A = this chain, B = another copy of it.
Amino acid sequence: MGFMRKLRVSAERNNSLLCIGLDPDHDRLPAGVTMAQFNRAIIDATSDVVCAYKPNLAFYEVDGADGLRALEQTLAAIPEDIPVIGDAKRGDIGNTARQYAKALFESFNFDAATVNPYLGLDSVEPFIAYPDKCTFLLCRTSNPGAKDFQDLMIRGQPLYEHVAFKALEWNIHGNIGLVAGATYPQDLARIRQLCPAMPLLVPGVGTQGGDVRAVVRLSADASGMNAIINISRAVLYASAGADFAEAARNAALRLRDEINKHRPVG
């Protein structure tokens, strides 16, 4: 099943736009719990509450080959019917991008991946060539440094809007999405206006400070769908103790319901 349909089915079944970022940080794991064990407990406690999971590869690569093994074990623990986004933010020349796309979509079998647009079309093409996978291009990211380049004005419009226009132009297979940070609500609104039907991956709620109400209203499409609200630390580390999985479930339930309060009715 392609990503778009898989996402719709899981979002409807779990009545959820919440995506949990599986970013296990060694400094914050409960004592004696491995990355793979931590993730499995989080997944078991939340898989009926989310629309998707999003492991960020940085947190695995830090352990080298062992870390990628933990990632493989994590992916095996995710129920088949929940879509998984590989947050890798890769970007390289065509010949190399083909290897990255193969790594993410075949070796790890992610349903979607994030891609950095700075290298242009031939760096993106190998990803969108997989029609059943979704490629989320970084558009307006959630971090303070986003302004350094993404806000630079080009013919009256910021760079990130040019990325959105290119995403529309390149979307011949209908499998492109955009990353739009929750911390810049006006920019998020502008991106949704430019791309009314694209799935938006929205990080930045929770620890990063994005406001849930504004974010949901501005990122969901007219039917209240197609927004993937990612939260990592506020769920994963809801408790630092042995009850971390139960605390994560409670945090996820609360966030899912808070998000649903503000969804447009489809």
Interface residue total, chain A, C-beta cutoff 8 A: 60
Instruction: Determine whether the beta carbon of A142 is less than 8 Å from that of B89.
Output: no
Identity of the chain B residue whose Cβ is nearest the Cβ of A154 in the assembled complex: B152
A100 neighbours in B (Cβ, 8 Å): 58, 61-62
Known: A100-B61, A143-B123. A91 touches B89 (CB 8 A): yes
B166 contacts A93, CB within 8 Å? Answer: no
Stoichiometry, as copies per complex, reads 2
Cβ-defined contact, A65 with B66, below 8 A = yes
A120 and B103: CB pair below 8 A?
A: no
Task: Assess whether A260 is interfacial by the CB under 8 Å rule.
Answer: no
Residue-wise interface mask of A (78-93) relative to B, using a CB-CB cutoff of 8 A (1 in contact, 0 not):
0000000000011111
Give me the interface of A with B, judged by CB distance under 8 Å.
23, 25, 56, 58-59, 61-69, 71-72, 89-94, 96-97, 99-100, 102-103, 106-108, 116-124, 138, 141-150, 152-154, 159, 162-163, 166, 203, 208
